[in-house]
Structure 1
Amino acid sequence: MPFAMYFPLHYTPSYWTRLRRLLLVAALLMAWLAMPTRSAAQSPPDVVINEIMYAPQPSQNEYIELYNRSDADVNLSELSYANGYREFAPVTDSSVVLQAGGYAVLVRTPSQFEAAFPEVPYLAPDGFRALRNSGDTVVLRYGETNIDEVTYVPSWSTRDDAALERVEPNAPSQAPFNWQSATAPAGGTPGFQNSVFTPDSTPPTPLFAQVDADARRITLTFTEPLNPASLASASFTGPERAPVSVEQGDANTVRLFYTEPLRAETLTVRGIRDWQGNSTEATLPLSYAPQQGDLVVTEIMYRPLSDDFDERPNQPEYFEVVNPTERWISLQGLFTTNRPRDTGGADTLNLGIGTQHVAPSGGYAVVYAEPNSDNEASSTLDRAFPTQDLSAPDGPTVIAVPRSRLGLRVQPDRLRLHRADGEPIATVDYHPDWHAPGVQDTRGLSLERISLTAPAANAMNWTSSAHPEGGTPGFPNSVGPPPAEGSTARVSADPSPFAPEVDQATRIQYALPFPPDWVQLRIFDAHGRPVRTVEETVLSGPEGEVLWDGRNDAGRIVRMGVYVVLMEAQNWNDGTSTQHRTTVVVARPL
């Protein structure tokens, strides 16, 4: 029986024609669905330019490395590339699959590449687009869509014979911070993970939060580049109100804008991410632009030791400031200006202080001249003051100005610290006569301030440093240490009796229960007549010692007898004053 007799009569020949057509369409549809092509709705492949060898040795061994940072395979025949001239050419004419997480290397001269990297697979596109040493652009395209583009410049490189490697695949292609010279001995890592890539699980850390002079903007600096998609006003709390807007500066900085002046002391940051997705949460102090009185000049080294043959370390010029306020003070952008000359001009020095320098509440900062900043293992300041740990983690802020001098004159001069807009912060009109009267040679001795609250222009508020190294940069002054807790007032003289011709002098020692702003020691005879002012309003600290050589103010040895030592001290801040006496006997040698 013919095959057609098994079907009902209504199954006509036209039915078979239609059935065959339907089967053909179904087969074509299944074949099309099985083809490894992308639908119109699917996004372009996630392939990036990962390494660029643009100035190799030999000169024609240029290459470009591509990296598939997605989890899907990519057919490289769908991609084309170009240099800055934008004349696109296929990456390959054949069907080559770039696996997820894989690398593909496009080379200019196969023989030279094989000699340099014999085990690395590569593609050699026809008419490789040469890369200019002076800077160029590399573009990667899918169809008519640019999927990646890098415009490099030679300043990105630190090695002449090395490729530029991408630091983080997910960070922006055009960001200079995302490219570095390869550190691999071969000068590159084509076909392998880049030598400059380091897995990062550390969140970005905020380093400094600086409040501008009008207190309506905070500039926040982080340890690493930030993903701008993570920046939001709600990420920043602590001040009285949320910022009205957030703006990214360079890769590592964020600017926060407020409508009213800030008064907060801290800022809390949450949810800010780097390009690896690490998220931060941290609280840091706000550093305010200095206003007048926010910094106090407490020490001036204007006549440092500078003799290479005196067997003593040379000293730099420096000045010291302390922050007496309850908030952190930024030192960025400060200048100094000295006393105007007779012609009317004055010298202004830009200290070149960056955002990383701040003075914490109650903290010290030292600005010094450093002529050898490029080739010395230790600073001039460290060598001049070896017993003072200037580099301790909780130590002072130390700022080196790369010059031989700060312009501090030996004759009477002015140290005026001010902002770039001219706003004065602190001023001292110092005088060499402010040194202790008994000091004959003031070389290598700083002027130290006695009281933070007493006027800076008061000569009684300054004296010579009593430290053996000639100064105390970055630390409490030697003339103003706090007294020991529970100490009592006392004054004594030893030896007594003493003979000036034999003993030379008697040691007058004193101690006070409070930190004084000045101390005066005078000698009276048994009838109450003044004989000698041993120290006239010169402070050596709450605990100090002076010598009396048995002579009067005219320089003659006094007569034998009993003499009274009167010590007077005063604290200007709280009005405390005290007097203490002791006796000393002057004798003649036997």
Structure 2
Amino acid sequence: MKIKFLLVLGFMLILCNLTYSQNPGDVVINEIMYAPTPSTNEWFELYNNTAAPFNLANWKWKDATATLRTIATQNVDLPANGFAVVCQDSAAFRTAYPGFTGVLLQSSGWSALNNTGDNLIIFNAASIVVDTITFTSSWGGSSGSRSLERISSTGPTNLQTNWGTSIASAGATPNLRNSLSPLSNDLTLNIISFSNNNPLIGTNLQINANVKNRGSLPAATYSVSFYDDYNKDGNPTPNELINTVNSSSPLNAGDSADFNTSKVMDSLGLRQFIAVVTYAADEDTSNNKRTGTVTVTSGGGGFDSLVINEIMYAPTTGTGKEWFELYNKSSNPVNLANWKWKDATTSQHTITTQAINIPPGGFVVICEDSAAVKLFYPNNPGVYIQSVGWSALNNTGDNLVLFNSTGTIIDSITFTSSWGGSANNKSLERISYTAPTNQQSNWGTCVSSVGATPNKVNSLTPKPNDLALNKITFSRTLPSLGDTLGIIAQVKNRGLNSAPSYTVAFYDDYNKDSIPTPNELKATVNSTGSLNAGDSS
């Protein structure tokens, strides 16, 4: 009788232990990378829903094939409320996810997961099924090297609505909370869209943003900000802000809300916009931003004509005051009668009321004081027009908008002092008239000796053939009498064409007049090869 009791008790203890380790939902399949790039980097993730670890020694898995694969042969714990990743190739996995920390196990053998769908079964050391899933590509994770993520670790494994494609920036979330798993507070900028993906210059573009509450709690107050991403770097900055729209009512869990603003299309070509949702209680801000692009066209209406080409916004006293230059990039003359301009203020100023034609490829300089500008640049003949009124341009940055006689915006720029032209009486020059106006890399400080190029080709505009003596340096800054001094000259090819051969001559400027003469020549060095456009030697 005593022996029977002990046997029964022992059996009950073993049964209790097995039951604890096999409760449905204790360990679940949490994420599956079944269609990666490259295809040899498949993996899946397990999650422990309990407050106690599980020893994975001799656990196994299989897909739709009959082959059982061993997850681990040694004692490896699946942490309490933690993750373990089982992979095809641990080296390839770490290359794809270099910041990964956690339990990573390379399976003893691998059965390739089918990209159209498969099943996955997990067995514990006693060969008891711990979790199983049968999925198809329609569940998610079938392209773009993105994983199939479980939404709720406590929801049913074989319920399609409990799975979806990862929305993480890395495409997957190994050893991290799944990107689809709801937090208490989590708003996402779901979609950015436009009223027209090919708007005409001068027309009003409506920008739409859809915000979704992925959290489990309602969001009481939040806002959406819209940005004109001039430099297309994907980073919204204060000077790029178009508008901020505040929410008018709470957004319940699972619901979406639409916000919109508008922007006049004031320059041609590719334009990028950003929408950002701001929510003080947000627990995940990685999904709060979206970017989108449109291509602004002229529509054949002659709008693609004049561009803002040069701006003197920070002149020093007595040097000609402020001005800006326009360039006619079209093949037809442009009549400036009743054209207008404005800066960041609301005041529009008339350029001229007279019929002044700017020829194709021609310039015109719009001045605060035309007499002062012409006096300061006596070697730059051309068309100078004194504006009817003037709004002082801000030395830290401003915007400049050009309107034709019908009030349509023809060109526009928003710049800061970091773009160039903020000191030493040097202008801010456009590099290429065909590149976007609002692209910082298309502007820079004038390198002309007089500091600006009104009514002339900009000093930064590349010419077909243009080598520049970029800089001269020395082997010693304080050489002693009798020392041999090394003189180094750097040549940069600023032209559009490669330079097959060239020379650099070195002079000892005895009289310090900066004029090289034959008797001052010390050496002439010939190039040993061609210098490609943009390169230095």
With normalisation by structure 2, the TM-score equals: 0.30
With normalisation by structure 1, the TM-score equals: 0.28
